[in-house]
């Protein structure tokens, strides 16, 4: 007589690192809320809060990996949770912050959408190729393409712009119209970041 496998429990099967990963996701969602509040009510501090929450998400993202290695225990959900959290915090949140800062033209929106899609694709590729790129000890030795958390640099640029009053019509480098579609040249940094994420550039994993 075969025994039935133990039912999967969301709580019981969570590792400590997974709770930090959820902290990452929660911080990213908080950044979205703060940006939406800024768009609805104004108040520059809401943008600062959104930027700070993305930074907090990065702290959680760093800690969850270190905790998993320290405890030498990773759950079955770990990699998937990490990718989903990263999409929110370092893909969607920076794009929404960019939109909130004034990148609202038709071409701006297209660039922000492409940026998020590049981030999703980058994470999917990592999950698929992690075993192939691992060394004899099972550790991934390098990244292909820039890791999605590097989008924190985009958020930092926007935060500095906000502190200098360079938002909306005052965004650095102004705006242009191409075939009646608005474009803020500053949004091209999102296009560059997305392209680097899906590139084949090899970056050693520290």
Within 13 Å, how many C-alpha atoms sit on residue 159's CB side?
18
Block residue for tokens 């480098």: 173
pLDDT for the residue numbered 114: 98
Options 3.30.420.280, 1.10.260.40, 1.20.120.1760, 1.10.10.10; CATH of 16-204 = 1.20.120.1760
* Alpha-carbon gap, residue 95 to 112, rounded angstroms: 5
pLDDT beneath 70: ranges in the chain: 1-13, 71-76, 130-140, 206
**pTM: predicted TM-score of the whole model, two decimal places:** 0.88
The dihedral through the CA atoms of 127, 128, 131, 132 has a sign that is negative
pLDDT at 121: 96
User: Would you state the pLDDT for residue 73?
Assistant: 61
Percent helix, percent strand, percent coil in the chain, to nearest 5: 65, 5, 30
Query: Are the beta carbons of 184 and 106 closer than 8 angstroms?
Result: no
pLDDT of residue 12: 61
Kind of pairing, strands 181-183 and 202-204?
unpaired
Q: Which pLDDT score is estimated for 149? A: 95
* Tokens coding 50: 């959104």
């Amino acid at each position: 007589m075969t025994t039935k496998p133990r039912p999967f429990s969301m709580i019981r099967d969570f590792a400590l690192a997974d709770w930090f990963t959820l902290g990452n996701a929660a911080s990213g969602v908080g950044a979205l809320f703060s940006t939406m509040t800024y768009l609805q009510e104004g108040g520059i501090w809401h943008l600062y809060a959104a930027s700070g929450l993305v930074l907090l998400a990065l702290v959680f993202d760093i800690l969850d990996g270190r905790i998993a290695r320290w405890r030498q225990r990773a759950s079955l959900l770990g990699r998937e949770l990490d990718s989903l959290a990263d999409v929110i915090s370092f893909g969607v949140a920076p794009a929404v912050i960019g939109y909130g800062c004034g990148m609202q033209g038709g071409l701006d929106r297209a660039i922000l959408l492409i940026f998020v899609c590049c981030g999703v694709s980058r994470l999917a590729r990592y999950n698929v190729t992690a075993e192939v790129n691992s060394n004899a000890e099972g550790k991934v030795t390098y990244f292909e393409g820039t890791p999605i958390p590097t989008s924190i640099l985009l958020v930092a640029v926007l935060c500095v712009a906000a502190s200098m009053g360079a938002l909306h019509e005052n965004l650095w480098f102004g705006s242009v119209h191409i075939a009646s579609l608005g474009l803020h040249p500053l949004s091209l940094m999102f296009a560059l970041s997305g392209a680097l994420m899906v590139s084949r550039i090899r970056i050693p994993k520290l």
